């Protein structure tokens, strides 16, 4: 019986191309030295020693190429739960098998096609994420903002203030950080309140405003969520007319009115989700994601600044001030200081801003929002700090 | 004809057949595609890399096979997202609504994320092992990932609390846990490396790296006038930096700078030695049944790898900056951009440079260090009793890729 089978096997092997190979049957790690014959219908796997007993037969349609080292064709059987493997290093036999078994994807053309599709789809997904982040998130944030209670925004502002105030107070002045509290500064404080009052009356803001002038040399102002505005003493020093200061205040009130603080929180959270989580973290490639986030964040803040400028122009006109004064003080500040990378990314270019302000501002007869006496008092709102004992 | 069958090595021979040039190509192409797809391609990239490394590693004449699929990694990642999104939302909501302090929520969130990270690492290891096929039999890992995570949290807390002194025992304990739950077919793994032995070997390194920082603190304890400081604090001075003005302040800063500087230099110079010690210790501790591994790795070989890395990195940085400089110069001369356009150009160049340098440095590290260390570790390893590998019965089933996905979402990485 076995003699018969063996004779048939040898006869078949003589007709079909064959070569030695290594076979693992998947039930144990025993290394079987075999002869593989490529018959018309599939591979016949026969023991290399003794009677050339047939160990297994794999049809061409079942063959699956597995990852292996260079110069080896490693085959598995499709749909098999066992990890049976056939490893062929004979180049001639490999070529014959690849010819006969279409599933083996000779030359890897199908694999490359699939891979190109994957790359194309990944690229499309990345592009879609960027477009969503650039346009979808800001639109979504605008829709959500009306549903967020003002109290939440005020609490958020208080939280941010806790963190930002020590950072702003870089000279560690403590209670002396705020201007307008000493008796000598009372007239200045009254003038500021008058100016803010005129603007606020025209603005109808959702929050009670709290404008605080602080001892900081930078010509800057910051609006926190919830209506708290910091005006740096450096800005008051730079302002040549009450309307210039009013223009900046109106710009910050624009951030308050548009609830830009909450908007930033929402947009940053959305961005963190899209870019931090969906794109995940991976060795080195994180840099691309960080760069994309940086660019998107700056695009959000440029849009917010443009909108606040427009708000300022509108509010100044309503309050009867000079809407172009904002542009004047912006130009002076920029001339004074090196326009760094951060400013460039976060704010639209100053020239563009001024042009945009001039374009919407309707020129007309205006008269300063504060008279000369009040303005002189306001300029003195930050008296020199008494030396510390 | 005999040559057509894989070249039979001695039973315990471990070889690495990978070529660095091929690996460079694989890595550079992958980095480019990561860039274009914002990283979405990483599942396919990681799969390609693993296939290459596994197939290039040969034990007793037979190479390993990585049988994982990129789509499994993608699926695992999506599943991880489905778990992480509600979790993150819950943490954020708790931070906003609960009356507890932000710090408490942050601390609980941190511990939770560390636990999840360790859990992910353990499960990711399981995925990789069950996708590793050798001679038609897969590796496997069992044991509870939650238990491992708690165990790891305990040991890492101890490592931090002892300023790193407990590190050798932590490593030994965690390796023992992992290897005890690892098997190749029905051949059970174990780990024989001893924490005390590693401690004795690395103790000198600990003194050289952590010592200077401790010294700085001891010196400070003697120089700072604590009474005066106490008086200032009770007098209402809240700003800690103001306490460091004048002569004492300068001394404090100088002592700190000296301590941390010495520590950093020592760490930089000694890191290859540490890496060599760890790899020798780890490989020599691996056991599968009666099969034992022994590493003959020499420290000088590891130093050579890191020196080469430093040289390639410096060369890459020089070339990149030179190219950026030349490019800007040419644009400047030919197009004569306005001041505003120049600034815009500068910000674009900065962002592109950042991406190129980080991605480039990571690619260089992966090839010149990670690949070389893998090759070195494999080539200097020797197995004894490897005959036991010839008749192992198959066991185990493939696990899900959730761990890989979690590790990915949490940024605790893998290969």
Q: Which of A66, A129, A279 sits opposite B65 (nearest CB)?
A: A66
**Mean pLDDT computed over A69-97:** 91
Whether residue B5 and residue A22 make contact (CB cut-off 8 A), yes or no, is yes
Quote the pLDDT of residue A341: 40
Interface contacts (A, B; CB < 8 Å) = 194
Whether residue A282 and residue B42 make contact (CB cut-off 8 A), yes or no, is yes
- CA-based angle A239:A244:A249, to the nearest 5? 105
Whether residue A341 and residue B238 make contact (CB cut-off 8 A), yes or no, is no
Identify the weakest region by mean pLDDT among A119-128, B82-91, B185-194: B82-91
Rounded to whole angstroms, the Cα distance separating B227 from A97 reads 87
Quote the pLDDT of residue A383: 80
Q: Which of B343, B362, B391 sits opposite A284 (nearest CB)?
A: B362
Mutate to test the interface with A, among B11, B16, B40 (most CBs of A within 10 A): B40
Q: Which of A27, A280, A288 sits opposite B355 (nearest CB)?
A: A288
Q: Which position has the higher pLDDT, A324 or B203? A: B203
A283 → chain B, closest CA residue: B362
User: Could you report the predicted ipTM of this complex, rounded to two decimals?
Assistant: 0.82
**Mean pLDDT computed over B163-176:** 96
How close A233 comes to chain B (CA, Å)?
Answer: 22
Q: Which of A20, A284, A292 sits opposite B38 (nearest CB)?
A: A292
The answer to whether A16 touches A29, Cβ cutoff 8 Å, is no
Task: Indicate whether A129 pLDDT > 50.
Answer: yes
The answer to whether B346 touches A341, Cβ cutoff 8 Å, is yes
Confirm or reject contact between A26 and chain B (CB < 8 A): yes
Residues of B in Cβ contact (< 8 Å) with A279: 38-40
Residues of A in Cβ contact (< 8 Å) with B137: 24, 26, 28-29, 83
Length of chain A: 389
Whether residue A29 and residue B70 make contact (CB cut-off 8 A), yes or no, is no
Q: Which of A33, A159, A279 sits opposite B5 (nearest CB)?
A: A33
Mutate to test the interface with A, among B1, B20, B129, B136 (most CBs of A within 10 A): B136
Q: What is the pLDDT of residues A367-377, one digit of tens each?
A: 788 888 899 88
Whether residue A69 and residue B63 make contact (CB cut-off 8 A), yes or no, is yes
Residues of A in Cβ contact (< 8 Å) with B132: none
Whether residue A280 and residue B409 make contact (CB cut-off 8 A), yes or no, is yes
Residues of A in Cβ contact (< 8 Å) with B353: none
Q: Give the global pTM.
A: 0.81
What is the SS3 assignment for B41? coil
How close B270 comes to chain A (CA, Å)?
Answer: 24
Structure tokens at A82: 């066992």
Q: Which position has the higher pLDDT, A270 or B233? A: A270
Residues of B in Cβ contact (< 8 Å) with A87: 6, 62
Percent of chain B with pLDDT over 70: 87
Banded pLDDT at B349 (limits 50, 70, 90): confident
Whether residue A285 and residue B33 make contact (CB cut-off 8 A), yes or no, is no
A117 → chain B, closest CA residue: B41
The answer to whether A237 touches A364, Cβ cutoff 8 Å, is no
Residues of A in Cβ contact (< 8 Å) with B342: none
Quote the pLDDT of residue A179: 87
How close A66 comes to chain B (CA, Å)?
Answer: 7
> Nearest to residue A321, comparing CAs of A239, A244, A237?
A244
**Mean pLDDT computed over B321-347:** 81
Rounded to whole angstroms, the Cα distance separating A68 from A73 reads 7
Rounded to whole angstroms, the Cα distance separating A148 from A140 reads 13
Q: Which position has the higher pLDDT, B402 or B210? A: B210
The answer to whether B114 touches B122, Cβ cutoff 8 Å, is no
Identify the weakest region by mean pLDDT among A135-149, B79-93, B236-250, B279-293: B236-250
Whether residue A284 and residue B34 make contact (CB cut-off 8 A), yes or no, is yes
Task: Indicate whether B250 pLDDT > 80.
Answer: no
Quote the pLDDT of residue B340: 66
Q: Within 13 A of A357's CA, how many CA atoms are on the CB side?
A: 32
Quote the pLDDT of residue A4: 46
Whether residue A279 and residue B358 make contact (CB cut-off 8 A), yes or no, is no
Kindly report, as residue ranges, where domains of CATH 2.30.29.30 are found in chain A: 2-104
Q: What is the mean pLDDT of chain A?
A: 83
Identify the weakest region by mean pLDDT among A11-25, B72-86, B156-170: A11-25
**Mean pLDDT computed over A201-219:** 86
Q: Enter the CATH code of domain A2-104.
A: 2.30.29.30
Q: Within 13 A of B215's CA, how many CA atoms are on the CB side?
A: 16
Cβ under 8 Å to B: A residues 36-55: none
Quote the pLDDT of residue B100: 61
Q: Which of A66, A130, A277 sits opposite B409 (nearest CB)?
A: A277
Q: Which position has the higher pLDDT, A250 or B342? A: A250
Q: Which residues of B368-391 are buried (b: 16+ CB within 10 A; e: fewer)?
A: bbbbbbbbbbbebbbbeebebbee
Q: Which of A126, A174, A294 sits opposite B38 (nearest CB)?
A: A126
Q: What is the pLDDT of residues A42-76, one digit of tens each?
A: 999 999 888 889 999 999 999 999 999 988 999 99
| Torsion over CA: A55, A59, A62, A67 (sign) | positive
Q: Which residues contact A305 (CB under 8 A, 6 or more apart)?
A: A346, A347, A348, A353
Rounded to whole angstroms, the Cα distance separating B124 from B72 reads 12
Cβ under 8 Å to B: A residues 365-384: none
Whether residue B343 and residue A344 make contact (CB cut-off 8 A), yes or no, is yes
């Amino acid at each position: 019986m076995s003699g018969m089978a063996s004779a048939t096997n040898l006869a078949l092997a003589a007709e079909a191309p064959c070569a030695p190979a290594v076979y693992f049957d998947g039930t144990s790690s025993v290394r079987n030295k075999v002869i593989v014959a490529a018959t018309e219908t599939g591979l016949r796997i026969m023991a290399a020693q003794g009677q050339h007993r047939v160990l297994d037969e794999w049809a061409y349609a079942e063959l699956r190429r597995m990852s292996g080292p260079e110069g080896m064709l490693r085959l598995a059987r499709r749909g098999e739960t066992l990890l049976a493997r056939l490893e062929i290093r004979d180049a001639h036999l490999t070529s014959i098998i690849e010819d006969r078994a279409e599933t083996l994807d000779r030359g890897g053309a199908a694999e490359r096609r699939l891979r190109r599709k994957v790359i194309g789809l990944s690229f499309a997904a990345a592009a879609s994420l960027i477009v969503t982040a650039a346009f979808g998130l800001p639109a979504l944030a605008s829709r959500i903002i009306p549903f967020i209670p003002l109290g939440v925004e005020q609490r958020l502002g208080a939280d941010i203030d806790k963190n930002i105030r020590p950072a702003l107070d870089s000279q560690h002045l403590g209670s002396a950080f705020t201007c307008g509290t000493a008796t000598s500064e009372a007239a200045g404080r009254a003038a500021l309140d008058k100016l803010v009052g005129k603007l606020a009356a025209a603005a109808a803001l959702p929050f009670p405003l709290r404008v605080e002038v602080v001892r900081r040399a930078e010509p800057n102002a910051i609006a926190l969520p919830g209506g708290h505005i910091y005006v740096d003493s450096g800005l008051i020093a730079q302002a040549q007319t009450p309307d210039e200061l009013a223009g900046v205040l109106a710009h910050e009130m624009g951030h308050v009115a548009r609830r830009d603080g909450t908007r930033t929180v929402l947009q940053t959270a959305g961005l963190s989700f899209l870019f931090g989580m969906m794109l995940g973290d991976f060795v080195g490639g994180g840099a691309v994601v960080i760069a994309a986030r940086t660019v998107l964040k700056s695009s959000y803040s440029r849009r917010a600044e443009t909108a606040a400028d427009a708000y300022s122009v509108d509010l100044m006109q309503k309050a009867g001030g000079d809407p172009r004064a904002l542009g004047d003080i912006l130009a002076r500040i920029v001339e004074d200081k090196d326009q760094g990378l951060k400013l460039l990314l976060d704010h639209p270019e100053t020239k563009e801003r001024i042009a945009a302000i001039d374009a919407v501002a309707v020129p007309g007869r205006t008269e300063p929002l504060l008279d000369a006496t009040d303005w002189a008092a306001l300029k003195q709102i930050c008296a020199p700090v008494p030396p510390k004992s | 004809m005999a040559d057509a069958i894989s070249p039979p090595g001695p039973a315990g021979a471990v070889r690495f057949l990978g070529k660095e040039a091929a690996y460079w190509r694989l890595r550079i192409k992958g980095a480019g595609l990561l860039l274009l797809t914002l990283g979405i391609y990483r599942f396919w990239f990681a799969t390609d890399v693993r296939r290459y490394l596994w197939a290039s590693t040969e034990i007793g004449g037979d190479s390993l096979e990585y049988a994982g699929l990129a789509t499994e990694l993608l699926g695992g990642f999506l599943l991880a997202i489905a778990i992480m999104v509600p979790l993150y939302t819950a943490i954020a909501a708790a931070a906003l609504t609960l009356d507890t302090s932000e710090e408490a929520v942050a601390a609980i969130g941190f511990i939770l994320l560390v636990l999840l990270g360790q859990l992910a690492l353990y499960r990711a290891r399981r995925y990789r092992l069950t996708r590793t096929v050798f001679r038609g039999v897969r590796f496997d890992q069992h044991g509870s990932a939650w238990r491992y995570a708690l165990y790891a949290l305990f040991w890492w807390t101890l490592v931090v609390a002892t300023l790193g002194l407990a590190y050798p025992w932590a490593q030994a304990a965690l390796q023992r846990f992992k290897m005890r739950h690892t098997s190749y077919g029905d051949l059970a793994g174990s780990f024989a490396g001893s924490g005390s032995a590693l401690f004795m070997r690395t103790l000198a390194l600990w003194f050289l790296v952590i010592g200077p920082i401790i010294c700085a603190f001891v010196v400070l304890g003697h120089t700072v006038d604590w009474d005066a400081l106490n008086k200032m604090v009770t007098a209402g001075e809240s700003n800690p930096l103001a306490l460091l003005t004048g002569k004492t302040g300068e001394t404090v800063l100088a002592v700190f700078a000296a301590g941390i500087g010495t520590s950093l230099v020592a760490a930089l110079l000694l890191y290859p030695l540490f890496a060599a010690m760890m790899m020798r210790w780890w490989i020599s501790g691996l056991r599968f049944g009666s099969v034992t591994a022994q590493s003959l790795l020499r420290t000088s070989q590891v130093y050579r790898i890191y020196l080469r890395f430093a040289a390639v990195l410096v060369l890459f940085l020089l070339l990149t900056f030179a190219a950026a400089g030349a490019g800007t110069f040419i644009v400047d001369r030919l197009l004569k951009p306005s001041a505003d356009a120049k600034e815009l150009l500068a910000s674009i160049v900065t962002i592109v440079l950042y991406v190129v340098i980080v991605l480039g440095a990571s690619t260089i590290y992966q090839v010149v260090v990670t690949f070389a260390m893998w090759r070195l570790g494999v080539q200097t390893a020797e197995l004894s009793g490897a005959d036991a590998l010839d008749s192992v019965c198959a066991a185990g089933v493939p696990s899900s890729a959730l761990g890989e996905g979690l590790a990915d979402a949490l940024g605790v990485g893998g290969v």
